[in-house]
Amino acid sequence: MRAASTGPAGTDQPDSSPQLQRRLTLLPATALNMIDMVGVGPFATLPLMVKAMGGSLALVGWIAGAIIAIADGLIWAELGAALPKAGGTYEYVKEIYGREKFGRLLAFLFTFQLIFTAPVSIATGCVGLAGYASYLFPSLQHVFFSRSLGFHFLGDVTLKLEISAATLTAISAAVLATILVARGIDGIARISKYLWIGVLATLAFVIFTGLTHFHPALAFPQGWSHQSPPNGFLIGFSGALLVALYDYWGYYNICFLAEEVVDPPRTIPRSMILSILIVGVLYLLMNVGILGQLPVAEMIRMTNATAGNYPAARAAQMAWGNWGGDLVAVAVVWTAFASVFALLTGYSRIPFAAARDHNFFSAFQRLHKTKGFPVVSVVFMGLLAAALCIFQLGSLISALVIVRILMVFLVQALGIVYWRITKPAAERPFRMWLYPLPVIITLIGFAFVFTDPERQKIMARGLALGLAGVILFLVRAFFRKQWPFVPKQTSAAE
């Protein structure tokens, strides 16, 4: 049974709890999802996918990523409609695995990993933004310091660190986003609509450029479908799929803001499904267009540094001249910043929800006295994201995707099956289509990501992070006399 503090749809809160305001309707909810999904990803990561697959076979990664996004999105939609509370996954795992038992541990672990991975996700947007800013201002490409850092504990993992003028630009973007998110939800809803318009305009112009200056022989050279990726198809597909998953992720952003959504059982599933379908079509059109304009060798060279990675701007420059490249670069900077804004807005609500539930550090539940946003959570994540901007995009994406799959997506995909079995009568305003097929597709897709031995090393570090979280949870529980150290008679009473 659900805890007594939740209402029929999991929306009621005790009067003494900090309260959020419901202001997000379908349009701003869809806008927040889309700007979170698009961001800088498709404009900056195509070279990474081309490098992994050795050419136009990168499109296989985009298609596979879209299929997995739809399947996983249906999982999120069912959970989000049934449990529309701030924190998203935090609430889902508690409901599925037991609010006062194992679910409490998993909810703590979700929050624990998030305070590390959410800033990584935000930092990827800032780093991508800086790459396009360097197109507009070539002086930003000056590198002050560059080094590969090796981590030999639990596997030889290497992260590429770079400090350049572009790095300082990325840090500035993270700080500015933090300042803007430090507003009430009404201001966030207004800002999201304007940023969304910029996102759509950017995609439209890049797609139009690709369609009007498309060279079929460049995008699909003879024998392209039989071309073998540099490290073999399985490893190449694994790398391309990892990047595609990163680019599609964000369709669930509205789940973290559920307590600020109007009519969440209807708005949450609709906004997610609309976001995935629209963005999936736009991604394919845009990337086919860029593949038909830029040589593969040029795109692969773009993967070697933070500055200089701007395939969409370069394609527009080749099509329209310098003004076209400048226009796209400005538009992508706008789009990247929109994504950073949406990410920080959504993720900052999760530590707030956990702290309000007395399952995380209490400082994170503090709301601003007049604007009503979770002030400690916003500032903490924003500043940590700024610090992480010193790492290159590829390194950040790999670490982010691996840890998220291990500690969030797999737990949630398996959990919804367990929840349906153990609580078949639970209220579910939206049920995923073709159950359990979406779950099977999601699990198989995520499994492919781990076929690369290099990512298996990162997986080991992700498991180490989870172990550290378990230890921290047990220490807190011991001193607070909470599960699993609560006396048996008290546990029975609960």
What residues contact 193, with CB distance under 8 A and at least 6 apart? 27, 28, 31
Q: How far is CA 370 from CA 29, 260, 366, in A?
A: 23, 16, 12
Q: How far apart are CA 130 and CA 308, in angstroms?
A: 9
Q: Which of 1.20.1740.10, 1.10.3210.50, 3.30.420.10, 3.30.70.270 would CATH assign to domain 26-488?
A: 1.20.1740.10
| Torsion from C-alpha of 104, 105, 111, 117, nearest 10 degrees | -150
What residues contact 201, with CB distance under 8 A and at least 6 apart? 331
Structure tokens at 274: 């609309």
Which amino acid is it at 206? V
Could you tell me how far CA 387 lies from the centroid of its own chain? 18
Residue 459: its pLDDT value, please?
A: 82
Q: What is the pTM of this model?
A: 0.82
Look at the alpha carbons of 403, 267, 124, 54 in this order and tell me if their dihedral is positive or negative.
Answer: positive
End-to-end CA gap in the chain? 11
Q: Residue 88 in contact with residue 350, Cβ under 8 Å? A: yes
Q: How far apart are CA 475 and CA 469, in angstroms?
A: 10
Q: Residue 316 in contact with residue 327, Cβ under 8 Å? A: yes
Residue 186: its pLDDT value, please?
A: 60
> Which residues of the chain are under the pLDDT cut of 70?
1-20, 149-160, 183-189, 192, 305-307, 487-494
CB atoms within 10 A of CB 221: 12
Beta-strand pair 157-164/143-151: antiparallel
Q: Residue 292 in contact with residue 210, Cβ under 8 Å? A: yes
Q: How many CA atoms lie within 13 A of 322 on its CB side?
A: 2
What residues contact 260, with CB distance under 8 A and at least 6 apart? 20, 21, 22, 23, 24, 86, 185
Residue 19: its pLDDT value, please?
A: 63
Residue 159: its pLDDT value, please?
A: 64
Q: Among candidates 32, 448, 55, which has minimal Cα distance to 279?
A: 32
Residue 17: its pLDDT value, please?
A: 55
Residue 431: its pLDDT value, please?
A: 95
Residue 268: its pLDDT value, please?
A: 94
Could you tell me how far CA 59 lies from the centroid of its own chain? 21
Q: Give 6: exposed, middle or buried? Use CB within 10 Å, 0-12, 13-18, 19+.
A: middle
Q: How far apart are CA 65 and CA 135, in angstroms?
A: 28
| Torsion from C-alpha of 339, 343, 345, 347, nearest 10 degrees | 180
CB atoms within 10 A of CB 402: 24
